[in-house]
Homo-oligomer: A and B are copies of this chain.
């Protein structure tokens, strides 16, 4: 599966969140990224045909941005207005059956985003225009990936964020426990090849442990189901 990250950020190089995420997606072969702001800075008028064609190769397209006034920064909207012509989206169905993911980072706490909270509306509600776009394009709208106040995260929270983010970019969706473990095993196998023998054996042990755990979970699920069925 091939993933394209379209990043909208007026100061990408200075953003701690963006640079942190960038270190991670470098490690995935099938993930490419494009900073939209760089695209526009390099030219007065972007090459629409080229951008339209570039998207065709990918199965998952991610809009990644910090939340600015309850939406993306203007550059993503400019890209959408320019590249996603009605002909391309509605007549040619060029993005049909692809997945649309949203990676949005928040400066304010995610818990503020709810009715009665300071921001009044949920992230789901505020991202409706993107969901409506996915609907119109025939894309599958993925559950948005929210980076909640990156600056306040502890090192171990950042580590977890990284793994979750990598899974969001490349695991099969929806991100069930089974899909997540399958993805983890694939990742471990991919990193095995160029490691020394003893490390390869260690990775095999981890993979076996994950498989065992998966089998345990499956068996536990069966037990729970049986008990429930008897209760009824």
Contact = CB atoms under 8 A, between A and B. Distances in A.
Helix, strand, loop or mixed for chain A's interface?
helix
Nearest to A120: B135
Contacts of A152: none
Contact of A70 (B73, B74, B120, B129): B129
**Copies of this protein, total:** 2
A108 B80 CA distance: 18
Interface string A100-125: 00000000000000000001110001
Interface of A: 10, 68-75, 77-78, 80-81, 84, 119-121, 125-126, 128-133, 135-136
Q: 9 tightest A-B contacts by CB?
A: A70-B129, A74-B78, A74-B77, A70-B132, A71-B129, A74-B74, A125-B128, A120-B135, A69-B80
24 contacts: A10-B81, A68-B80, A68-B81, A69-B81, A69-B84, A70-B128, A70-B129, A70-B133, A71-B71, A72-B77, A73-B77, A74-B74, A74-B75, A74-B81, A77-B77, A119-B132, A119-B135, A119-B136, A121-B131, A125-B125, A125-B128, A126-B128, A126-B132, A129-B129
